Amino acid sequence: MPKKTVFRRKVRKDKKQDTRIASLENFVYKTIENKQQNFHSSNIAIKDVPYYAAPDIRLTQGAGDGAGRPDAARIGNSITLMTQRYNFELRVPKSAPQGQTARLIVVESVDGAENLEFEDILEYWQTQAGTATGADRETYTSHYTTKSAINKRYKIHMDKTVHFNEGVRNVVMPRLKIKYGSKKNPGKVVDYVGGGVNDNPVNHKVTIMCVSDNLTTAEQPRLTYSLRSIYKDA
Q: What is the mean pLDDT of each run of 10 residues along the chain (234 residues)?
A: 64 70 62 87 91 92 80 89 96 76 93 87 72 70 79 90 76 93 91 80 95 81 94 87
Phi (first) and psi of residue 219, to 5 degrees = -110, 0
Closest by CA to 47, choosing from 97, 92, 108, is 92
In angstroms, the CA 212 to CA 45 distance is 10
Rg (CA), the chain: 24
Predicted pLDDT at 201: 93
Predicted pLDDT at 231: 93
In angstroms, the CA 13 to CA 121 distance is 52
pTM beyond cutoff 0.85: no
